[in-house]
Chains A and B, each alone.
Chain A
Amino acid sequence: MSVKKVKERSNSNLKSIMIRNKKDQLDLLKIVKHHLLLTISLIMLIISLLLIIILTSNNLIIWGSPNRIIYTIFFYHVSGAWLSYFSFGISLIFHILYLKSRKNIWINLGKNSILVGVCFSGFTLITGSLWFNATSGDYNNIFWVWGDARQTTTLVLFLSYLSYLVFAKMIEDREKKAKLTALLGIVLFPTVPLSYISTIVFTSLHPLINPTPGEPGNIYWDPLKLFMLFFNLIAMTILFMYIIKELTFLDKKKDELEKIKQIRLLRD
């Protein structure tokens, strides 16, 4: 083979590799663009996790005396609680919109918000009881106190919305299901403010969000902690939007599948 031919072949190989690389880059860009919300939120959550680890291991976050590492549970516990309240609040709006317009998209959005809310209210309950056992219980296996208003009302909230999901699965007729679940979603909403105000109105060991900065035992109003908390909350809210979007798209495709199946049944 002549040198010229070898050169030409190597040049064409190089060109095809470059084109493939460019295509791969474009594909990657497409994936990132399509999952922009997911990418942003995951990057933020990873940064927040690294910050928590670095700042806690270097003693840069102080939680009072004694300065125990267990208090870092605060960032995820509060984020989970926020996301569950937010999801249930948003689901109320979606359910009202469904009753007004009778468009299926609203009921799907409402149901998916509740699904995310139930997952995170369950997470909040678990981390809350772990935190309770570590601090108030001194690791004596005291995870639950029925007399504690916040724990009990949050359990009521969790079970109420869990029953919504079970109820939605039980009804076959689509229109009836949408109407009844929309009503249920609205009726159940008062459990959200009840859980939130339970620490103010009833007796609870749950710390109050104290608006006076600098008070002893006040773990909230440190600018660094607040920054990290809000950073987490923003990341979680963005992630919520992504998950809802994906779940609703899935519902749309499920509806399509159902329609095709019905058409086939009628034809056969």
Chain B
Amino acid sequence: MSIEYLDQDLLTIIISYLLFWAILIILILYPKLKLKKVLKSIKRLENS
């Protein structure tokens, strides 16, 4: 493994991988959290 630019390479890789996982987590959680809100509103409207 070449050690020239090793630190910068590692930082770039970590940023990219974290960004990837952040997008995945947002895309997985967004529908779940939004659905909870929508279901709550439906329940509230049906009950009132």
Asked if A70 and B45 sit within 8 Å, CB to CB, the answer is no
Q: Which residues of A contact B23 (CB under 8 A)?
A: 119-120, 123
**Known A-B contacts A76-B17, A120-B23; A250 and B35 likewise in contact (beta carbons under 8 Å):** yes
> When the two chains form the complex, which single residue of B9, B35, B41 contacts A70, counting CB atoms closer than 8 Å?
B9
Interface residues on A, range: 35 or more
> When the two chains form the complex, which single residue of A49, A80, A138, A250 contacts B31, counting CB atoms closer than 8 Å?
A250
Nearest A-chain residue to B32, judged by Cβ = A246
Q: Which residues of A contact B2 (CB under 8 A)?
A: 66-68
**Known A-B contacts A249-B35, A260-B42; A80 and B20 likewise in contact (beta carbons under 8 Å):** yes
Rounded to whole angstroms, the CA-CA distance of A139 and B10 in the bound complex is: 13
Asked if B31 and A69 sit within 8 Å, CB to CB, the answer is no
Asked if A261 and B12 sit within 8 Å, CB to CB, the answer is no
> When the two chains form the complex, which single residue of B12, B19, B32, B34 contacts A123, counting CB atoms closer than 8 Å?
B19
**Known A-B contacts A246-B31, A246-B32; A130 and B9 likewise in contact (beta carbons under 8 Å):** no
Max chain A Cβ within 10 angstroms of own Cβ: one of B4, B28, B45 = B28
Say if the beta carbon of A127 comes within 8 Å of chain B.
Answer: yes
Some 12 contacts from A to B, beta carbons below 8 A apart, are A68-B2, A69-B9, A73-B12, A126-B19, A127-B19, A134-B5, A138-B5, A139-B5, A249-B31, A250-B34, A250-B38, A253-B42
